[in-house]
Amino acid sequence: MVVWADPDPTGTRTHNLYWSDGAFNYALIAERSAEEILTLGRSLVCAA
């Protein structure tokens, strides 16, 4: 699931990516576009 977070006090909004492998829950939070965060997440999951 990808969500766009509310702005923090400095105005920064992050995209947050959450997934589970059935045993653990993971989160990737970055100030990047939705496409970039999905690409980062895929590289982490597929590299494992």
Alpha carbon 5 to its chain's center:
10
pLDDT at residue 45, as a whole number: 87
CA-only gyration radius of the chain, Å: 12
Q: How confident is the model at residue 47 (pLDDT cuts 50, 70, 90)?
A: confident
**According to the model, what pLDDT value does residue 48 have?**
62
30, pLDDT greater than 80: yes
Q: Total domain count for the chain? A: 1
Residue tagged 């990808």 (tokens): 2
pLDDT in tens, 9-26: 999 999 999 999 999 999
Q: Is the pLDDT of residue 7 over 80?
A: yes
- 13 touches 32 (CB < 8 A): no
> Residue type at 38?
L
**Host domain of residue 22:** 2-47
Secondary structure (3-state) at 2: strand
Do residues 5 and 15 make contact, with C-beta atoms less than 8 angstroms apart? yes
